[in-house]
């Protein structure tokens, strides 16, 4: 009996904490190499875009680079207006850009602080 309870507990905890993510190539260049890959989480109607990765599409390189040149992270962002109204927006919350060697060169992200360092980006 103790074994059955233990197995049931592990089964429900595994199902409850597991999350499905999948990647889908949504755009290819003229050489057939991937240029945009979306990463989704969830299943069915509850599926959400969490990341979009862009790859090198320069013609002279024939897209042999497998390093990303830009990664956009998506999620909820809360905005509080001066009248106290709160809105939750879904869009890009962080964007990373890389050079041709794959080194991170710049990052933009939405900050909850209202400062000059924040770039507010909302993608419908």
pLDDT one digit per residue (tens) for the chain, 124 residues? 667 777 666 666 655 555 688 999 999 888 788 889 999 998 888 889 999 999 886 655 555 557 888 999 998 877 777 777 777 777 888 999 998 778 889 888 876 555 444 444 444 3
Question: Alpha carbon of 80 to those of 34, 45, 73, 91, 110: distances in Å?
Answer: 39, 28, 21, 16, 13
Total domains, the chain: 1
Q: Is residue 7 part of a domain?
A: no
Residue 117 in domain: no
Q: Cα–Cα distance between 56 and 97 in angstroms, integer?
A: 12
Is residue 92 in some structural domain? yes
Q: Residue 50: inside a domain, yes or no?
A: yes
**Ordered DSSP codes for 39-66:** EEESSGGG-EEEEEEEE---GGGTT---
**Threshold 0.75, pTM exceeds:** no
Domain extent at residue 45 = 20-109
């Amino acid at each position: 009996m103790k074994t059955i309870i233990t197995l049931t507990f592990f089964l429900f905890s595994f199902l409850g904490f597991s999350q499905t993510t999948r990647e889908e190539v949504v755009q290819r260049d003229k050489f057939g190499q991937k240029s945009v890959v979306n990463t989704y989480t969830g299943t069915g109607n509850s599926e959400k875009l969490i990341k979009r990765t862009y790859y090198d599409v320069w013609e002279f390189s024939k897209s042999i680079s497998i390093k990303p040149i830009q990664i956009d992270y998506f999620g909820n962002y809360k905005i509080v207006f001066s009248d106290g109204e709160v809105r939750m927006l879904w869009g890009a919350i962080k964007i990373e850009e890389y050079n041709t060697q794959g080194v991170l060169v710049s990052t933009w992200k939405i900050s909850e602080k209202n400062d000059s360092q924040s770039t507010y980006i909302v993608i419908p």
